[in-house]
Amino acid sequence: MSKEISLAEVKKHNKSEDLWVVIEDKVYDLTKFLHEHPGGEDSLISVAGRNGTREFVDVGHSQEAREIMKKFLIGNLAASDIKKPSVGCREIGLAVGAIILGMALVYAIKRGMAKN
């Protein structure tokens, strides 16, 4: 589906009788699926009109659930509304720490093997 839908448009569809959700930068009209949703209506209503990717991923939906979703796909989130992943200081610090730890481990293993 190539239709681009803005987040502002998605936000207008935030009621049980008109329910759109963004999941992984795709827009779904889940109005007709609301009463069929195995997780209950409340879980969909809680993400109505917004990005529900985190909630969707956290639940760990099956491949079957992903196949069912295809029927409700109405478009892609507008490129201007897609958030670019940012790398913060915490992530950089963790990466540098992991590299240093890895280098220290390699050094210790080589040194231990040299003694034998």
Mean pLDDT by 10 residues, the chain (116 residues): 88 96 96 91 94 91 91 95 79 89 90 78
| Within-domain flag for 51 | yes
Tell me the C-alpha distance between 14 and 45, whole Å: 8
Domain ranges, residue 37: 3-77
Are 25 and 76 in contact by the 8 Å Cβ rule? The answer is: yes
What pLDDT, on a 0 to 100 scale, did the predictor assign at position 68?
A: 93
Q: Per the domain annotation, does 52 fall within a domain?
A: yes
pLDDT for the residue 88:
75
9 Cβ contact list (under 8 Å, min separation 6): none
116 assigned to some structural domain: no
What is the reported pLDDT for 90? 80
Residue 96 forms part of a structural domain: no
Is 85 part of a structural domain of the chain?
no
pLDDT of amino acid 84: 77
Number of domains observed in the structure of the chain: 1
* Residues whose CB is less than 8 angstroms from the CB of residue 78 and which lie 6 or more positions away in sequence, other chains included: 4, 5, 6, 7
| Predicted TM-score (pTM) above 0.85 | no
**Residue 84 belongs to some domain of the structure:** no
Q: Give the pLDDT confidence score for residue 116 in this predicted structure.
A: 65
Q: CATH no. for residue 47?
A: 3.10.120.10
